Amino acid sequence: MHNNGLYPAHKPFDEGFLDVGDGHRLYYQQSGNRDGLPVVYLHGGPGAGGSPAQRRYFDPERYRVVLFDQRGCGRSTPFASTAHNTTQNLVADIEALRMHLDVDQWLVAGGSWGVTLALAYGVNHADRCLGFLLRGVFLGTDAEIEWFMNGMGKVFPEAQADFRAHVGGLSGDALFSTYLEHLLDPDPTRHLPAARAWARYETRCATLYPSESSFEGTPSKAADAYALSLARLEAHYFQHHCFLQPDELLARLSAVKHLPAIIVQGRYDMVCPFHTAYRLHQAWPGSSLNVVADAGHSGMEPGIARALAHGADALVDELEGSRP
């Protein structure tokens, strides 16, 4: 394992596309050990897409690692599409992918929005889950969305001032509704600048120490594509309360409480503050909460990466013995 906590880079042994209906095709890949413990990693956003680094949380000798790009992002098609794109669609996609790959049960891992999705999948398909590895907890509640849009400005006022400046200094409900209008507009001259501003705001608030944003300076095609799927899909999901009932995931948590869970949370996470991870831990008596003292929200901060890799090691030690 490298000193940043990640296992060495390794290439997929399998990749492809899965048609999940409604015109959507999901890109997926598998890496590590074909006969290892299956784990599916759910990326954040919604709309961020998967990253090769995410498979490096898992020991490639012991894990069969499944990554995929959720509807509307990464290499999945159609790109940046909000049509037939709901939490329920994504949960069904995970189950379709499990069946397509002939996996009986798997560990479910994810970060940020990936936690929301992991729990939404878990409470609906608990019999297919071996356990959970969760980072930067987001439960899809209105209070968390309000914090993202407005509350983060209490800690990052300069970042939020720039965010608001893109839409003429608006705040509150008008800030969100105007961004939503811009982001859903098919005209790139409207949606791309708004997407860059949204993604820049999130990136500037995501790490304990300032990090250079790919949205500064001359935009690249890759950065623009990432910004568009991230911003458009986040706004779409926020508009619809993440397609969840109020506090639905905690209300239904009894479905998975018997399963092992490791929660990794940066103490100074400003995108998804610590309070939410603590709520989840308190509601899940058997869960383990690893608070990383020198980290914010990003899954690639060294302390977070190390904690996730150690968590994955602990879970494979626990679960390998219970496999049939």
14 counts as catalytic: no
Q: What span, in angstroms and rounded, lies between the C-alpha atoms of 65 and 28?
A: 10
Provide the token pair at 306: 């190390």
Provide the token pair at 52: 């090769």
Are the C-beta atoms of 6 and 57 separated by less than 8 Å?
yes
Are the C-beta atoms of 33 and 60 separated by less than 8 Å?
yes
Q: What span, in angstroms and rounded, lies between the C-alpha atoms of 140 and 237?
A: 9
Are the C-beta atoms of 265 and 174 separated by less than 8 Å?
no
Q: What span, in angstroms and rounded, lies between the C-alpha atoms of 203 and 199?
A: 6
Are the C-beta atoms of 30 and 15 separated by less than 8 Å?
yes
Q: What span, in angstroms and rounded, lies between the C-alpha atoms of 291 and 154?
A: 22
Q: What span, in angstroms and rounded, lies between the C-alpha atoms of 275 and 184?
A: 32
Are the C-beta atoms of 220 and 178 separated by less than 8 Å?
no
Strands (DSSP E) contained in 55-190 are 63-68, 106-111, 129-135
Are the C-beta atoms of 103 and 34 separated by less than 8 Å?
no
Are the C-beta atoms of 86 and 56 separated by less than 8 Å?
no
- Residue among 31, 76, 81, 112 flagged as catalytic: 112
10 counts as catalytic: no
- Residue among 229, 287, 297, 298 flagged as catalytic: 297
CB neighbour class for 212 (10 Å; exposed up to 12, middle 13-18, buried from 19): exposed
- Residue among 269, 281, 287, 298 flagged as catalytic: 269
Give the number of other CB atoms < 10 A from CB of residue 134. Answer: 30
Q: What span, in angstroms and rounded, lies between the C-alpha atoms of 183 and 199?
A: 12
Radius of gyration of the chain (CA): 19
297 counts as catalytic: yes
Catalytically annotated residues: 112, 269, 297
